[in-house]
Amino acid sequence: MLQFEIDPETSQLLEVIRWLGREYMRPLGLEADRIHQPIPADHSFYKRVWDLGIGRRGWAEEQPNTATPRTTTRRGVVLAEEMSYWDRGVAVSLPGPGLGGPPITLLGTAEQKQRFFAIFNDPDRPHWGAFAMTEPGAGSDVAAIRTRARRDGDDWMLNGEKMFCSNGARADWVVVWATVDPALGRDGHRAFVVERGTPGFQVTRIEDKMGLVAYESASLVFENCRVPAANLLGGEEVYRERAGFKGAMQSFNATRPIVAAMAIGIARAAYDQAKEFVRTAYMQHRPIPRYRRILDKLAWMERKISCGRWLCWRAAYLADMRQPNITEASMAKAYCPQIAQEATSLAMEILSDTGVAKDALVEKWFRDVKAMDIVEGTGQIQRRIIARQLTGLGEG
Ligand SMILES: Cc1cc2nc3c(=O)[nH]c(=O)nc-3n(C[C@H](O)[C@H](O)[C@H](O)COP(=O)(O)OP(=O)(O)OC[C@H]3O[C@@H](n4cnc5c(N)ncnc54)[C@H](O)[C@@H]3O)c2cc1C
């Protein structure tokens, strides 16, 4: 039976995030969008967030290999929705391991978890992690990655390029996916933790995005970048039976419901603004043209947002129970960004000229939400995964 109760600690965190969101996240996200610059890593906001314990909690204590159910993913979807309600770009920019956390949790040895997560216990200053899979020639088709990993004595040498790495320029370390031999496809994949400052590792570009400007999307280059063997996640023995690929996919099964919940957060923000607009017009006895159609649009948003939220919660619940959730995670990820795009579009229609004006929040959300269908596997890829699972065709 699906159980979903928000525990007292998560409720408390939600309150903190509501306050942070109202006071800081939304204004900062708007400012980043208007000046078209990511929020600098040394901004005092991140230290404030860090001092509140956000991004820091529990990473070193995560024990993924035990059979004990956990609440991490359920807490993740609830908090992700709330943060993105205020600003999804700022939410991604927050300190913490980011998308680099799940592969370390899933594939890393106890020593590696301890070592790489230790920075998140540092009381003095915020720290970030990042995840680099995408390359100029490999996005949806992750089997096509060409960043090469070659063993050289006690080290590995990395050569290649990555792009669209979220928080990649500020990260203390990046989980970098490379191949020991492109001909092996997914069997050749290995995951390395590359620390900032490692010779041969460079940030070459920050992407100029249409939305979600608050965090940087970095291009990275590895040129004869020497990484100690101790930074190969899990050690070489883990990479039998496609463990590298499976590790990446498993980590997506944990993060896709969270990304889907972020889309729900943006949809809810747009819905609330449209609702408020209609309510205010009604209270002020202003004429609202096609009033019934507008009410129907609001009801559509409410229904779809609720459905999407349940898809996220179900996928998160299964992840916490350590039950297979590939189909459910993909259903959440395929559904939520689409309805969120529709919701921001409907909100602009309802707000009409005030919605499309350049200083309107809903105009920003309309641009922010587009990428939600692309990140963590596009909508098409999710639908393909669902169909292959339902027909028994496997991972493909
Ligand atoms: C804001 C943002 C943040 C990101 N953050 C990260 C990050 O932190 N780390 C990281 O590694 N990557 C990140 N990415 C990259 C993201 O994961 C890729 O953009 C995504 O996987 C799609 O790859 P692509 O852009 O190369 O598109 P392509 O794979 O080239 O796809 C192009 C189009 O073809 C469709 N398509 C492709 N294959 C199929 C198929 N088999 N069947 C049907 N349709 C198909 C796709 O759906 C898409 O519409 C980020 C991207 C964005 C926009």
pLDDT at site 281: 87
What is the pTM for the complete model shown?
Answer: 0.93
Nearest CA to ligand 1 atom 30: 139
Using CA atoms, how far apart are residues 28 and 36, in angstroms rounded to an integer? 12
Q: How many other C-beta atoms can be found within 10 angstroms of the C-beta atom of residue 174?
A: 29
The DSSP bridge pattern shows strands 173-179 and 189-195 to be antiparallel
pLDDT at site 305: 98
**Is the distance from the beta carbon of residue 214 to the nearest atom of ligand 1 less than 6 Å?**
no
The full DSSP string for 244-267 is: HHHHHHHHHHHHHHHHHHHHHHHH
**Is the distance from the beta carbon of residue 59 to the nearest atom of ligand 1 less than 6 Å?**
no
Ligand 1 pocket test: pick from 135, 173, 220, 375 the residue with the most ligand atoms within 8 Å of its Cβ: 375
- pLDDT tens for each residue of 186-212: 889 999 999 999 999 999 999 999 999
Residue type, 239: Y
Please name the CATH architecture into which domain 243-390 falls.
Up-down Bundle (1.20)
Q: What are phi and psi of 285, to 5 degrees?
A: 55, 30
Q: Which residues are catalytic?
A: 376
Q: Distance, CA 330 to ligand 1 centroid (Å)?
A: 15
Helix (H) / strand (E) containing 105: helix 101-107
Q: Distance, CA 18 to ligand 1 centroid (Å)?
A: 31
Helix, strand, or coil here: 40? coil
**Is the distance from the beta carbon of residue 250 to the nearest atom of ligand 1 less than 6 Å?**
no
25: DSSP letter: I
**Tokens describing residue 114:** 């301890």
**Is the distance from the beta carbon of residue 165 to the nearest atom of ligand 1 less than 6 Å?**
yes
Alpha helices in 24-141 (DSSP H): 26-35, 44-51, 72-93, 101-107, 110-117
Rounded to an integer, what is the distance from CA 178 to the centroid of its chain? 21
Residue type, 301: M
Q: Where are the domains of the chain?
A: 243-390
pLDDT at site 53: 85
pLDDT at site 303: 98
Using CA atoms, how far apart are residues 98 and 96, in angstroms rounded to an integer? 6
**Count of residues for the chain?**
396
Q: What are phi and psi of 150, to 5 degrees?
A: -125, 130
pLDDT at site 287: 78
**Is the distance from the beta carbon of residue 275 to the nearest atom of ligand 1 less than 6 Å?**
no
- pLDDT tens for each residue of 335-388: 999 999 999 999 999 998 776 777 779 999 999 999 999 999 999 999 999 999
Q: How many other C-beta atoms can be found within 10 angstroms of the C-beta atom of residue 21?
A: 23
The answer to whether 41 and 170 are in contact (CB under 8 A) is yes
Q: Identify the segments of the chain with pLDDT beneath 50.
A: 65-67
pLDDT at site 343: 98
pLDDT at site 395: 65
